[in-house]
């Protein structure tokens, strides 16, 4: 099965739509959304509606910290993120708010774990930014493959038979084999607000039969997203970040 793993959509309709179109063109048979459907971007209701539609068609979804913040105002956030959440909250229907509130923190499919942040204490929204944080996830979960988001930068880690964790170079679009003697952790990057210097939607394809992954980048109509973001009165810092991809 070819699984498309998307994370951190952040209310970016154009990026979400472009990524889903690429998933379909690549023949993905299952969609996974790793949370943060909303926050930052100008189309939270559309993105949540699309996520609900995908869930109805069998997609796997987990909750992100921005999704949680919609009904948990006390979530710790920087001022720009807080301003975006405060803007987003009244623009979501009651049904969308319930949908986001009811999302689980983790989900499993066979020997694969899906989580927004770290598998180690998912509700604490810990960033997996290096081998030390990856080690905590490997020690917490026995899953052969762990997919997470939250960082907005794609990354790849493995844990060998001796329990040593290794970071690996991420090569875009190339098929990267997952050696079966190791366990693996993939940070999916971000669909709607990438932070690795590439202003394109990012996601991961996972071939469960071949045990391969591919980090994908997809161009989208950034100009339209920027126009809507500014018209909404959201912080200009968000537009700057989208343009730079970081």
Handedness of CA 51, 90, 148, 242 (dihedral sign): positive
Say what the pLDDT of residue 136 is.
Answer: 98
Q: How confident is the model at residue 76 (pLDDT cuts 50, 70, 90)?
A: confident
Q: Which helix (H) or strand (E) holds 203?
A: strand 201-207
The tally of domains found in the chain comes to 1
Q: Which helix (H) or strand (E) holds 220?
A: none
Is residue 185 within 8 A of residue 152, CB to CB? The reply is: no
Say what the pLDDT of residue 75 is.
Answer: 74
pLDDT tens digits along 11-34: 999 999 999 999 999 999 999 999
Closest CA to 9 of 191, 204, 246, 220: 191
d(CA 37, CA 177): 29
Say what the pLDDT of residue 174 is.
Answer: 87
Say what the pLDDT of residue 73 is.
Answer: 76
Q: What is the mean pLDDT of the chain?
A: 97
Say what the pLDDT of residue 13 is.
Answer: 99
C-alpha torsion angle, residues 152, 243, 204, 140 (rounded to 10): 0
pLDDT tens digits along 88-144: 999 999 999 999 999 999 999 999 999 999 999 999 999 999 999 999 999 999 999
Proportion of the chain above pLDDT 90, given as a percent = 96
Cross-strand partners of 205: 4, 214
| Domain extent for 184 | 2-244
Q: How confident is the model at residue 74 (pLDDT cuts 50, 70, 90)?
A: confident
The predicted model gives 148-163 an average pLDDT of 98
Proportion of the chain above pLDDT 70, given as a percent = 100
The predicted model gives 214-232 an average pLDDT of 99
Is residue 213 within 8 A of residue 185, CB to CB? The reply is: no
User: Does the pLDDT value for residue 224 go beyond 80?
Assistant: yes
- The domain that holds 37 is classified in CATH as 3.60.21.10
Q: Which helix (H) or strand (E) holds 185?
A: strand 183-187
The predicted model gives 203-215 an average pLDDT of 97
The predicted model gives 150-169 an average pLDDT of 97
The helix/strand/coil state of 162 is coil
Closest CA to 6 of 152, 173, 198: 152
């Amino acid at each position: 099965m070819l699984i498309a793993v998307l994370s951190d959509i952040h209310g970016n309709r154009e990026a979400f739509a472009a990524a889903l179109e690429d998933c379909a063109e690549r023949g993905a048979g299952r969609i996974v959304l790793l949370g943060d459907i909303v926050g930052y971007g100008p189309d939270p209701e559309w993105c949540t509606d699309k996520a609900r539609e995908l869930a109805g068609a069998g997609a796997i979804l987990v909750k992100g910290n921005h999704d949680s913040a919609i009904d948990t105002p006390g979530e710790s956030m920087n001022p720009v993120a807080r301003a975006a959440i405060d803007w987003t909250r009244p623009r979501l229907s009651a049904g969308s708010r319930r949908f986001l509130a009811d999302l689980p923190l983790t989900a499993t499919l066979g020997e694969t774990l899906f989580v927004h942040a770290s598998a180690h204490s998912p509700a604490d929204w810990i960033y997996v930014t290096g081998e030390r944080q990856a080690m905590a996830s490997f020690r917490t979960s026995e899953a052969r493959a762990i997919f997470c988001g939250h960082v907005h930068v794609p990354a790849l880690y493995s844990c060998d038979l001796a329990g040593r964790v290794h970071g690996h170079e991420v090569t875009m679009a190339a098929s990267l084999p997952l050696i079966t003697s190791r366990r693996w952790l993939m940070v999916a990057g971000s669909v709607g607000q990438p932070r690795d210097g590439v202003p394109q939607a990012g996601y991961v394809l996972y071939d469960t039969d071949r045990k391969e992954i591919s980090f994908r980048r997809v161009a989208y109509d950034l100009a339209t997203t920027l126009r809507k973001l500014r018209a909404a009165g959201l912080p200009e810092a968000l537009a700057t970040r989208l343009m730079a991809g970081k």
